[in-house]
Amino acid sequence: MEVGSLFNSGILGQSFNWWMGQIADDSTWRENINAGKFENKEGVPGWGYRYKVRIMGLHDRATEVIESEELPWATVMYPITGGGGQAGAFATPALRQGNVVYGFFMDGGQEQVPVIMGVLGNNLQTKLQTKTELTGGLAYSGVSGYAETEKPKLEAEDKVPDSDMTISKPGSKEQNIEKSALSMMGLGGGGGGTNSLTEQAKTKTIRTYIGDGLQELVGRTPARLRRDDQYN
């Protein structure tokens, strides 16, 4: 089979290269992950869950040789139960700075497109540094997920926008009936504005509305209904 000079058979799975590495200081990849929803996908900063990874045997331990900002972006492989993001089916990786992860290179021997397949866990006996490789710690050593970062995280960065939060508590059965009745009368749900009513006024209005309906129904006996149908 003839192929072009740019053809890379490694991407098609001819070679499978493993790697192991460590997720860098989160200040280098934090802005790539944004909380909340966006109305315009063209205006969304970042690409979602990707991480800067320092790969053992490929990237030197010293940040003077290769800075964390220059490390490759590593995407995440999910299980089939995690979904791929379409139709609201997705999973959130629980990876943190300092995690030791492993995976493979999607581009084979070129080793430029790492994919994270898993993470190695810690236990209570694991010694974890309280500083990252950018704040005085050593790369490839255990690092706490709460370690001091080069750029302190702002509280607002982890906070989901109010527009994405549920701000109204589901009503009871009685409240839903009341809301439906008000809507039928063109008075809205009592959410404010010119159509809003006090609780006493709403109760009185609903009772009057229901009472008038019952009176009309009671007054229309079978004989009355037959007469009405003749004129309709």
- Whether 3 maps to a domain, the answer reads no
157 and 178 assigned to the same domain: no
What does the pLDDT read at residue 124?
83
At 108, is the pLDDT very low, low, confident or very high (cuts 50, 70, 90)? confident
The listed range with the strongest mean pLDDT (2-16, 65-79, 139-153, 216-230) is 65-79
Does residue 166 or residue 152 have the better pLDDT? 152
* Share of residues in the chain with pLDDT > 90 (%): 26
User: Minimum mean pLDDT among 114-128, 131-145, 171-185: which range?
Assistant: 171-185
CA distances from 177 to 108, 166, 186 (A): 62, 21, 14
Residue 60 is predicted with a pLDDT of: 94
68, 84, 108, 205 from 197: Cα distances, Å? 60, 47, 68, 9
- Does residue 1 form part of some domain? no
Q: Which residue has the higher pLDDT, 154 or 131?
A: 131
Give the helix ranges, DSSP H, for the chain: 173-184, 199-219, 222-231
- Domain with 56, as residue range(s), is 9-161
Question: Token pair for residue 173?
Answer: 């059965």
Kindly report the pTM of this predicted structure.
Answer: 0.60
The answer to whether residues 177 and 221 belong to one domain is yes
Number of domains in the chain: 2
**Count of other CB atoms within 10 angstroms of residue 148:** 15
Q: Tell whether 189 and 219 lie within a shared domain.
A: yes
Q: Tokens 């070129």 correspond to what residue?
A: 110
- Predicted local distance difference test score (pLDDT) of residue 91: 86
